[in-house]
Chain A
Amino acid sequence: MVFAWALILLVVATVVFHFASPWWFTDIASNWTMMDQTVNVTFWVTGFVFVVVNLFMAWAVIKYRHRKDKTTKAEYEPENKKLEWWLTIITSVGIAAMLAPGLAVWAKFVTPPDDASIVEVVGQQWAWTYRLPGRDGELGASDAKLVTIDNPLGVDAKDPKSGDDVIVTSPELHIPLGKSVKFLLRAKDVNHQFAVPQFRVKMDMVPGMVTHFWLTPTRTGAFDALCEQLCGVAHFAMRGRVVVDEEPQYQEWLATQPTFSQTAAIVAGDPEAGKPLFATCTACHGDQAQGNKELGAPKLAGQDGWYLARQLHSFKQGVRGSHENDTYGKQMIPFASMLADDTAVRNVVAYIGSLPDTRPDTSVGGNPERGKKLYATCASCHGDKGEGVWGTNAPRLAGMSDWYLARQLENFRQGIRGTHRQDFHGAQMRSMARALKDEASINDLLDYVHTL
């Protein structure tokens, strides 16, 4: 008896929970309201079955439970053809009622509109990049075998369609409101999935293939893009964003993105031209860029050039150093802003690259054995030797200023670094740094990095 009432209570609780749940679809931002409707139809049909069948079962348990005083036996009835056929038919009708709208919507899903514009999304461990066709409306060919540090999307320079392709290296993509977009999806290394919950539609990205889906954005806003296909240790920290803009804002954004020809034409920095620029830096970072702990300035010599350039840009744009408690970061902003343009940044980085790389003294001590275990996570991006890997956007750690790394890890943990909306790599690092629970963990980790 108690059992049957428990079943009834569970059914009631489930229905109440369904309607009271604070967790429901995010507000939709695409044309795929039909998907929400098919979900709702399915909820009504299955909900009805759930309630009726379970309540019938509970009632049967109450009515036909064994009682000591009851003398009637169970009824012997091997089968009832008529009843069984009716149940089969009713079930089939219910199933068809759910399947038909599902397939009808799917027919729309598989046929992108002819006027849909194209956006290519490229997934990699653990970041997103994008490519848009230029005026010709077509993307140039691409191949994983062509991927280099200067051509991270593997675009085929020999293809005449490539030159005007727009390259978006930020994980943030903009698309114009109200215009159908066909997303072409590629992956460089492993499977990923490009998913924006507010758009409802999503698709895996598979190396060696180009997959696709389409949508029409129906409201402006900034929406998180998530990876929903397990892609390795930092899967949960792979963060991107799609911003739906009104047309003018979209054009404004588009104008700031370089074409493939422009990125291909970039010449290497000139260390000679960078030397005078670096004069300002020497006050804190030292004349050999060896760093100065007392002034809070880390060693720069030996750091990967692409990383130094990215950080200088971040400081210039206020993406880094904007947090009120980031004292040293704030100091860097005016200095980075003294570098007038991209060429200046490249030159100063080239000069730093020409300086001798000497191992700094260690200043952090801990338990390197424990640190070795902790470093297993870090190695996925920063490399087994802490050497830095451009392919995963991870800077060198080994042989750099350990006190500086400790401070940055603490900053990431506390949200002093990595919380700016445009700091996608920082947000990722913040997710990882939070796995280090205390200062001792940081010290252990860095003491292991000393041995690399």
Chain B
Amino acid sequence: MAFVAIADRDHEHALHDPETFIRKYIWSQDHKVIAIQYALVAIGIGLVALVMSVLMRLQLGFPDTFSLIAPQDYYQYITMHGMIMVIYLLTALFLGGFGNYLIPLMCGSRDMVFPYMNMLSFWFYLLAVLVLVAGLFVPGGPTGAGWTLYPPQAIAPGTPGHGWGIICMLASLAIFVVAFTMGGLNYVTTILQARCKGMTLMRMPLSVWGIFMATILGLLAFPALFVSCVMMTLDHSLGTSFFMPAVVQMGQQTVHSGGSPLLFQHLFWFFGHPEVYIVALPAFGIVSDLLSVHARRNIFGYRMMVWAILAIGCLSFVVWAHHMYVSGMNPYFGFFFATTTLIIAVPTAIKVYNWILTLYKGDIHLTVPMLFAIGFIFTFINGGLTGLFLGNVTVDVPLSGTYFVVAHFHMVMGVSPILVVFGAIYHWYPKITGRLLDDRLGRIHFWATFIGTYAIYLPMHYLGILGVPRRYYSYSDSIDFIGQNVHIANEWITISAVFVAAVQLVFLFNLAWSLRKGRDAGPNPWRATSLEWQTPDTPPKHGNWGKDLPVVYRWPYDYSVPGAPQDFIPQDVPPGDPRAGNAPAGRDHGVHH
């Protein structure tokens, strides 16, 4: 049987539009509704993690003024904050949220190829979040092992939540991996099988490329986390010794013998480092599109951008032990992992250059999404460059375990991706709701977040160089080198953090207010080329495209093409169409063959 693409058989499928409220909005199989469900849950749990960070900062900045949290609370909050932000907010939002919304719309598909599994993916994700939250209410509270969950500590007395708390965390992660796998298989299959006619791989928007590669990374990396969760659960509950050597706990010998704590670290970071790119690559892709649209200029070096995404994705699997330079693993590994880690800086730097070269000779509209996109470039340059310190094994040694690390990873995979998330929400909200977010509130939100986060993290780097250790509940006056000025820095950082957290209320208000009162957006307020802006309805209806699927004739970056009447030519404009003017036709990646 000859291969028949899904787009060729579109007429053979009847669309069963959901009719009841429950089918439409609760047990929905529509990728757009699922995307919103994912996004709302992710933002909701993210707010919990944000509140925890404020409580931690109040403790660190004003230890004798506030009596809000005890040491075990502090460790429980750093654990929950880290895990929620990395997994349950960023991963879920970029892939479950933006991935779900954008893939079918940008590829010209009617939906994901497995809608039922897509629905299950969300409900498993919700279950994972609920199990995670349940950890807050079990005896002993949630685990306080740090988001890295290193054994033996994670299951040893002396760590908060070493009983029920860690079980909730491990179970929640395992469920999350199941949810992610159902979603991830969908994203990959949809991108590979369900693109509309004319949508070659090299005509896909970089958002799709970033999400695509991140999903592949996830499908390969999450199993390592899954098995570690299972093995640690067995060590915890059945007395096996995968990760547990012979140890003495509270003066007593345990049943364990012969396990390897380092094995867990290798498994964890085999997942954990690709995880960084699971968050970063969708951000890279999305920000490329924001920059191009709002600079009215093609993304510069599209092919190089695609190859950089692929290269970063592949390399991300051979750098994991740069998280373990001082873990006690054989130090000779340091040579290998420092080299691979610094090599990954090359494709990453190329991406930064190309973003900036997209602005260069552009027609830059400083809209709110654009402010966030350029803000991202600034914070990402900062966070990327400090990665060159920590990736280079020798340089890492004095800085590891200090606030330099905290500052680095918050800049590079906290602030940077979240700026992209905000930019993307301001950018696509009009398509999702039909209304624009309020511009003035958006600008307040941007400035406060961008400057505020820099005020938090810039001084942290220097505390780290001094040697101030991270994961400390308080800094005793008996540590000689930690002087009064460290406490002043901590106060400043706390004030900035509370400010940034409070400003997010402006954003939430804007989201709610603009839903009803926002300015009517029309189908394509940014005059963008990619397919999601060419839907017959805004917001797009079930099935996305009405009667006929779109057909694509060009790449998504035909901005300011000489000879075209307007400064953009949508992807579905055929050659010879008046909208294309006398612009050359049939571009794959902008380059005419």
Contacts and interface: CB of A to CB of B under 8 A. Distances in A.
B75 A230 contact: yes
B382 interface: yes
A54 B454 CA distance: 15
Contacts of B462: 17-18, 21, 23-24
B20 interface: no
Nearest to B590: A78
B71 interface: yes
Contacts of B587: 78
B261 interface: yes
A203 B398 contact: no
Contact of A233 (B159, B345, B388, B401): B159
A235 B475 CA distance: 11
A76 B339 contact: no
A112 B77 CA distance: 40
A392 B250 contact: yes
A46 B390 CA distance: 12
B397 A201 contact: yes
Given A23-B486, A77-B300, A232-B153, A103 B476 contact: no
Interface size range on A against B:
35 or more
B346 A95 contact: yes
A424 to B, nearest CB: 9
B198 interface: no
B364 to A, nearest CB: 5
B245 A200 contact: no
B389 A39 contact: yes
Contacts of A434: 63-64, 474
Nearest to B156: A190
B202 to A, nearest CB: 11
A419 to B, nearest CB: 7
Interface stretch (A130-138, A313-321, A341-349, A425-433): A425-433
A50 B382 contact: yes
Most B-side CB within 10 Å, residue of A107, A209, A232, A380: A232
Interface in A1-47: 3, 6-7, 10, 14, 17-18, 21-26, 32, 34-36, 38-39, 42, 45-46
Contacts of A391: 248-252
Given A75-B560, A76-B560, A233-B75, A147 B253 contact: yes
Contacts of B409: none
Contacts of A253: none
Nearest to B141: A376
Contacts of A233: 71-72, 75, 144, 158-160
Nearest to B360: A60
B175 interface: no
Given A46-B385, A185-B328, A144 B71 contact: no
Contact of B157 (A106, A202, A373, A380): A380
A74 B361 contact: yes
Interface stretch (A84-92, A286-294, A397-405): A84-92
Interface string B54-82: 00000000011001001110010000000
A171 to B, nearest CB: 12
A359 interface: no
Interface stretch (A61-69, A265-273, A327-335, A360-368): A61-69
Interface residues of B, number: 126
Nearest to A147: B248
A226 B338 contact: no
Contact of A109 (B64, B342, B364, B394): B394
B72 to A, nearest CB: 5
Nearest to B332: A110
Contacts of B360: 56, 60, 64
Nearest to A384: B157
Nearest to A67: B363
A432 B365 contact: no
Interface string B350-368: 1011101101111111100
Interface stretch (A156-164, A172-180, A191-199, A242-250): A191-199
A206 B263 CA distance: 11
Contacts of B146: 230
A49 interface: yes
Given A197-B481, A208-B259, A3 B301 contact: no
Residue picked from B160, B364, B382, B557, most chain A C-beta under 10 Å: B364
A191 to B, nearest CB: 6
A326 interface: no
A99 interface: yes
B303 A99 contact: no
B415 to A, nearest CB: 13
Interface in A125-149: 125-126, 143-145, 147, 149
B388 A61 contact: no
B335 interface: yes
Contacts of A237: 476
A224 interface: yes
Identify the 6 closest CB pairs spanning chains A and B, nearest first: A391-B251, A208-B245, A78-B590, A197-B467, A228-B401, A211-B328
14 contacts: A17-B458, A35-B397, A64-B361, A76-B561, A78-B302, A84-B301, A145-B253, A197-B467, A201-B397, A201-B398, A209-B328, A232-B158, A430-B476, A437-B67
Interface of A: 3, 6-7, 10, 14, 17-18, 21-26, 32, 34-36, 38-39, 42, 45-46, 49-50, 53-54, 56-57, 60-61, 64-66, 70, 72-80, 83-84, 87-88, 91-92, 95, 98-99, 101-103, 105-107, 109-110, 124-126, 143-145, 147, 149, 154, 185, 188-191, 193, 195, 197-198, 200-209, 211, 222-224, 226-237, 239, 373-374, 376-377, 380-381, 383, 389-392, 419, 427, 430-432, 434-435, 437-438, 441
